[in-house]
């Protein structure tokens, strides 16, 4: 039986740290949104774990909806143009939208998405991301709730994939080079 944890070079953030951080963020969100309805919008597929855990950390009513988006352009170079693969089922005009993400890398996906949701007439659009890579940012994104700033390394787990795998790791870690044929 191959244990996927053996493909980690290093664990950056443990399950416990993720859980504790979500508790902190949830208390802030409860305070900030006192008296206002919240629509959590998760960005498929990476945000599934954060969404599930953040939603359950909140001790108040929320609604959830989902979008799936994809960057145009081939290969690893993101163009900043985003295509909607699955749209919201909710009319968000007048709603308080909180986008839930696993990671902000270049920032291109979220800066586009925020503008898109604002243009639909949302009352407010804020962002909650578990991870952010400050050294990879190509466009400034105003993030209200951020779990951890991490180094510009390829990370997996807690929703983050490498070739669609490793999303189900409980913690966040760095992929071992042997997995993609690199040097250890
Ligand atoms: C990843 C991640 C974010 C986005 C961040 O999603 O989950 O959604 O990239 O990148 P950016 O800040 O450079 O735009 P991906 O497109 O890999 O899809 P996935 O969530 O299905 O893995
Ligand atoms: Mn994603
Ligand atoms: Mg991905």
* Dist CA 123 CA 97 (whole Å): 8
Atom of ligand 1 nearest to the CA of 105: 12
The residues that bridge with 148 in the sheet, in sequence order, are 131
Report which protein residue has its CA nearest ligand 1's atom 22: 46
- If you average pLDDT over every residue of the chain, what do you get? 94
Peptide bond into 45 cis (omega under 30): yes
Say whether the ipTM exceeds 0.95.
yes
Fold of 15-150: Rossmann fold (3.40.50)
Mean pLDDT of 59-70: 97
Q: Measured from the CB, is residue 105 less than 6 Å from ligand 1?
A: yes
Predicted confidence (pLDDT) at residue 82 exceeds the cutoff of 70: yes
- Helix, strand, or coil here: 147? strand
* Dist CA 133 CA 153 (whole Å): 8
Residues 6 or more apart whose Cβ sits within 8 Å of residue 92: 39, 41, 117, 120, 121, 122
| CB-CB neighbours of 107 under 10 Å | 21
Predicted confidence (pLDDT) at residue 52 exceeds the cutoff of 60: yes
pLDDT of residue 98: 99
pLDDT of residue 81: 80
Q: Are strands 39-44 and 63-71 parallel, antiparallel or unpaired?
A: parallel
pLDDT of residue 74: 55
pLDDT of residue 146: 98
Report which protein residue has its CA nearest ligand 1's atom 3: 103
Q: Are strands 155-156 and 145-149 parallel, antiparallel or unpaired?
A: unpaired
Mean pLDDT of 100-111: 96
Predicted confidence (pLDDT) at residue 71 exceeds the cutoff of 90: no
- Which residue, 41, 26, 21, is CA-closest to 124? 41
Place of tokens 């009513």: 61
- Which residue, 110, 124, 63, 59, is CA-closest to 89? 63
Q: Are strands 8-13 and 124-132 parallel, antiparallel or unpaired?
A: unpaired
Q: Where are the domains of the chain?
A: 15-150
Place of tokens 């290093």: 10
pTM: 0.95
- Catalytic residue list contains 37: no
Q: Measured from the CB, is residue 143 less than 6 Å from ligand 1?
A: no
Predicted confidence (pLDDT) at residue 91 exceeds the cutoff of 90: yes
pLDDT tens digits, residue range 158-181? Answer: 999 999 999 999 999 999 988 988
| CB-CB neighbours of 25 under 10 Å | 21
Span from the CA of 64 to the centroid of ligand 2 (angstroms): 16
């Amino acid at each position: 039986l191959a244990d996927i944890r053996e493909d980690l070079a290093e664990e950056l953030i443990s399950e416990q740290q993720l859980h504790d951080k979500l508790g902190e963020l949830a208390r802030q969100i409860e305070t900030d949104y006192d008296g206002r309805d919240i629509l959590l919008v998760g960005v498929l597929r990476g945000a599934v774990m954060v969404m599930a855990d953040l939603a359950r950390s909140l001790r108040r009513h929320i609604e959830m909806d989902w979008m799936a988006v994809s960057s145009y352009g081939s290969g690893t170079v993101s163009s900043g143009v985003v295509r909607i693969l699955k749209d919201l089922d909710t009319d968000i005009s007048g709603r308080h939208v909180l986008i839930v993400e696993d990671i902000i890398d270049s920032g291109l996906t979220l800066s586009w998405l925020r503008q898109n949701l604002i243009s639909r007439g949302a009352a407010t659009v804020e962002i909650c991301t578990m991870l952010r890579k400050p050294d990879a940012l190509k466009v400034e994104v105003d993030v209200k709730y951020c779990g951890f700033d991490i180094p510009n390394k390829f990370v997996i787990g807690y929703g983050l994939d490498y070739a669609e795998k490793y999303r189900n790791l409980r913690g966040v870690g760095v992929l071992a080079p042997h997995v993609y044929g690199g040097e250890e």
